[in-house]
Amino acid sequence: MLAMLLAVSTSAGVAAWAFQSTATGHAEEQAQSMPSAGEPNAADQIERGRYLVNLGGCNDCHTPGYFLGKPDPSRRLAGSDVGFEIPGTGIFVGSNLTPDRDTGLGNWTREDIMTAVQTGVRPDGRILAPIMPWRAFAELTKSDAGAIADYLISLPPISQKVPGPFGPDEKPNLLVMKVTAPDGSAEGG
């Protein structure tokens, strides 16, 4: 909310400045083309979502190659190739966040995405593993969570199914990052 107020007062400030310092007609045109207060236009909303996704580390865990030092730009956010093992719980892989219907979020609504990001609950009721930082994202404003969802929905759909999740006794077929205890007997979850 504060960010929104700041953004609104900034654009109003810019408009006032433009009006004073340039020839009349042009400044009025500029002021009119700005989104009205409290209603960011769709392009602004998607750009804000892109900014928050970069900042939120979503690329790290949801883009193949990222943990190997060479993220694949052609499959950005289409799912990781490295799983996270949580001792005693299983192995979880950052999923495909592009709107592909079969392997990504194509069948999720905007609200489904916001709910998963902020409460960890998938549409099928499964709670996402805590390596997905939804407890931190719970503090996002509704407007920011919505911007993230709008950005994800705007991505080109990429078909790529991530493996898993694997149970604690299942054998994974991908690289895994693991939490271990000093004596090697970690049991957590």
The amino acid occupying position 98 is: T
3-class secondary-structure state, position 91: strand
Q: Which residues, other chains included, contact 158 with Cβ-Cβ below 8 Å and sequence gap of 6+?
A: 75, 78, 96, 98, 100, 104
Residue 123: cis peptide before it, omega within 30 degrees of 0? no
53 lies in the site for ligand HEC, by CB under 6 A: yes
116 lies in the site for ligand HEC, by CB under 6 A: yes
- Output the smallest distance, CB 129 to ligand HEC, in A: 4
46 lies in the site for ligand HEC, by CB under 6 A: no
3-class secondary-structure state, position 82: strand
- Report d(CA 156, CA 100) in Å as an integer: 8
Which of these segments, 15-23, 63-71, 115-123, 172-180, binds ligand HEC (CB under 6 A)?
115-123
91 lies in the site for ligand HEC, by CB under 6 A: no
121 lies in the site for ligand HEC, by CB under 6 A: no
99 lies in the site for ligand HEC, by CB under 6 A: no
- Give the binding site for ligand HEC (CB under 6 A): 53, 56-58, 60-62, 84, 92-95, 97, 113, 116-117, 122, 128-129, 131-133, 137, 148, 165
